[in-house]
Every structure is written in C-alpha cells, then in structure tokens.
Amino acid sequence: MKRLLEKRRPIWIILGAGLLVVAGVLVVAAFVNPQSAGPGPEQTETLSATATSLAPTTPAETSAPETSGAQASPTPGSIAASVNGYTITQSYLSQTVKLNTVLGRLSGASVLDERETLQRLIRSQLIVQGATAFDEPTDEDVEGFIASLLQNWGVSDERLVQELEAVDLERAFLEDTIKRLLTVEAAVGSLESEGNNLGEWLREQEEDAEIMVFADLIEEEEEEEASPTAESEDEDESPLPTPEAQSQVPDVAPNFTLDRAGGGTLTLNDQLKEGPVVLVFFERCG
Amino acid sequence: MAVSPLSDIEDGVQGVINPPYPLLADPDHEVAEAFQVYDLLGTGYAAPATFVIDTDGSIVWSYIAQSRTDRPSANIVRDQIP
C-alpha cells in the first residue's frame, strides 16, 4: 500500500460516499483535496483539534495517537476514520450522510446509513490510493453527470438546491461529491483494465492498509442486524463489494468447550454461572 | 474471553501477550460456525466479532466486523454488559 501511495501525488483525502440512482444505483465517493482545494476552515480547525494519525496531511498540527485501539467518542469535529494516514472527519461523514438522504429522497433510492457510508468512504479511498493511472474528471463531466441525474429523476436544479439548503448543504458540496464519484469510477476502471478483480483487490487492500475507525456507530450496526435482508439487497446493487451477507447472529449463545491457552478447557455455560461473558473472535492470533 | 482459530496456542503465547482473560483455541472453527461468524469475510477464518452474553445465555449485543480491522472500542463493549 505504501508503495502504491508513493506513486501517486498524495493529494486526496477522503471525504465522502453515498448512493445515487441513475437507472440503478451508483456509489458516490467523495474526497477532499486538502492541499490544492483545501478542506475549508471548519475542517482545518477540527483536524488541528484532534490528535490522531494525520502526518501525511497535517504534519505540524497533530500528533500520533497513543494507540490505534484508543477510540474516543465522536464529537462534531472529530475524526471518523483514518485510512493509511488519510482522515475522514466526522463532520464530513455527517454531511455526506445528509447529502445521501437528500439524493435518496429525490431519486427514491434507499439511503446508506452512517456506518455503511463510512465503509464506502474507506473503500473509495483505498481505490483512489491504489489506482495508478486514470483521468481525473473535469468540471464539465461533473455538471453533465448532475444534469443527467436530474433529468432521470425529473427534478429541477432549483429544487435540488432547495433540498440541499434545507439541510444546510451547498450545491458545491454535491459537485465535489460527484467529482469524487467520477474519480473513483475512473480509478476502478483503471484497476479493472489492469486485470484486477475489484472485490479481491479490495480485500487485499483492506488487509494491508492501516485503517482505523474512530466513529461510534453502534446504533447503526444494531439496525443493520435487525434488517439483514435490506442490507443484502443493497449490496447486490452496489458496484463496490461489501463482505458477504451479514451473519444471522443466534439469539442464544451455543454452549461450547474449548482448550485454553496455558492448559485446561473452558466451558461457556460454566463461565456464565459467574456472570455475563464478552466473547471475542479473532481472525488469527497476533 | 477470546477465541482464536489456532490450535497451537501454547503457554508461550499466553505468556507473551498475557491477556487478562481466557484465550481459547477453535482450530476446527466449530464455535465460529455456531456463532455464525465463520468465513464471513471470505478469509477462511472467523470474522472478527464480539458478543456480549448474559448469564442466561442470551446474546444481548454483538458486533460483526466488516473488515479485518473493524472492531468496536472497549468502551463501547463495556457499555453493553448487563
């Protein structure tokens, strides 16, 4: 991942993703260029106020985290996630979710929740970091895309702006988001033209990348578990793969007896006699 | 308690990482399958997952990872313990 990062100018910092509909569902990915375009004064303040791994983007303003496992409760200006040192701010994530909500209302499409949106942002960032050669979209491309969306939805530009303003978003935010979407699409095209299977490629990137999620998105997670069907439908439509269908978590923990490190065995039901149990599965040891 | 798929968890491993909780081996991924977390990420291993189990055996909270590095914070898990 680092090798790939060095090939590209380190210009992109993530910033958003969501869902649009144009005769189907497209994933919108949004990125903000903190060096040439700038994240804006609000984000600059929030970045400097939050200590996390931001060396590639704001080296003088932040310090490294004590440990990657330390996750603070989100505040409006905090970092939602970090991908190979590039950050997604909580405020940008929230704005992107709001944008998705507006677009969902206009298009009739289902809307990604915050957790799903963050997941898309992380993957979009991995894609743009990993792709080596693609054309970046022009302003004309962006406006053409927005015009085709509005035409498909039968919505005027005035109404679009009205809906955006109702949730304190400017049209420029949509334009930025569309630009990032087209950038990700171009990057995906570049990766696939090199013979990569996007799903496999993403899994490899996720394994190698340093991804830290700071956002506290538990409520959304619980909602997902309550509606696994809706989520799997969404996954089917998405060009960006997500993990296989959500687990059907059992209501009651099945009892088991396993060998313990250090010798002996442990039986879940015996342990439960002593109190509640937190059971954590690790993919591998270490 | 933590469950790993490795069958060769030895005293040395326990000694090195010295976790303040039992470390268990699930080499045949039977327990991972029973909890419906086996191979969810297509890796051939259990997906990283956290379950909070009440004394009556009911699973009162769970978090199934969307990627290998996706885990809830300790504070979040602690708040779910009944």
pLDDT tens readout for residues A131-164: 877 888 899 999 999 998 898 888 899 999 999 9
Whether residue A48 lies within 8 A of chain B, CB to CB, comes out as: no
Between A135 and A109, the more confident residue is: A135
Between A111 and A146, the more confident residue is: A146
Minimal CA separation from B20 to chain A, in Å: 12
Question: Which residues 110-149 of chain A have a CB within 8 Å of chain B?
Answer: 119, 122
Look-up of token digits 């060096």: A35
Residue A21 CB partners (closer than 8 Å, separation 6+): A103, A107, A108, A109, A149, A152, A153
Residues of A in contact with B23 (CB under 8 A): 260-262
pLDDT above 70 covers a percentage of chain A that reads: 60
- Among the ranges given (A32-36, A167-171, A272-276), the one the predictor scored with the smallest mean pLDDT: A32-36
Whether residue B33 lies within 8 A of chain A, CB to CB, comes out as: no
pLDDT tens readout for residues A217-234: 544 344 334 444 433 344
Residue A59: pLDDT above 60?
Answer: no
Residue A107: pLDDT above 90?
Answer: no
Contact assignment for A280 to B49 by CB distance below 8 Å: yes
Whether residue A249 lies within 8 A of chain B, CB to CB, comes out as: yes
The mean of the pLDDT values for chain B is 76
Between A167 and A109, the more confident residue is: A167
Consecutive H or E run containing A99: helix A90-107
Among A283, A284, A285, most B C-beta atoms within 10 A, so best to mutate, is A283
CB atoms near residue B43 (< 10 Å): 15
Residue A19: pLDDT above 50?
Answer: no
Question: Average pLDDT in the B31-55 region?
Answer: 87
Contact assignment for B50 to A251 by CB distance below 8 Å: no
Question: Average pLDDT in the B49-59 region?
Answer: 91
Contact assignment for A283 to B45 by CB distance below 8 Å: yes
Nearest to B72 by CA among A246, A231, A70: A70
Residue in B21, B48, B69 closest to A281 by CB: B48
Whether residue A238 lies within 8 A of chain B, CB to CB, comes out as: no
pLDDT tens readout for residues A162-199: 999 999 999 999 999 999 889 988 888 888 888 888 88
Kindly state the tokens that stand for B69: 């590095």
How many Cβ pairs within 8 Å bridge chains A and B? 187
Between A9 and A208, the more confident residue is: A208
The mean of the pLDDT values for chain A is 67
Task: Identify the closest residue of chain A to B50 by CA–CA distance.
Answer: A280
Rounded Cα distance between A59 and A37, Å, is: 18
Residue in B6, B11, B63 closest to A285 by CB: B6
Residue B42: pLDDT above 90?
Answer: no
Sheet of strand A79-83, all strands in order from the earlier edge strand to the far edge: A86-89, A79-83, A211-213
- Among the ranges given (A17-26, A85-94, B64-73), the one the predictor scored with the smallest mean pLDDT: A17-26
* Range with the largest mean pLDDT of A79-93, B9-23, B46-60: B46-60
- Among the ranges given (A37-41, A81-85, A163-167, B3-7), the one the predictor scored with the smallest mean pLDDT: A37-41
CA torsion, points A213, A80, A246, A26, in degrees to nearest 10? -130
Please report the pLDDT score of residue B44 as a whole number. 81
Please report the pLDDT score of residue A49 as a whole number. 28
Question: Average pLDDT in the A51-64 region?
Answer: 33
What ipTM was assigned to the predicted interfaces of this complex?
0.85
By the 8 A CB rule, do A89 and A15 touch? yes
Please report the pLDDT score of residue A139 as a whole number. 92
Contact assignment for A261 to B10 by CB distance below 8 Å: yes
Q: Structure pTM?
A: 0.43
Please report the pLDDT score of residue A216 as a whole number. 63
Between A6 and B64, the more confident residue is: B64
Contact assignment for A281 to B72 by CB distance below 8 Å: no
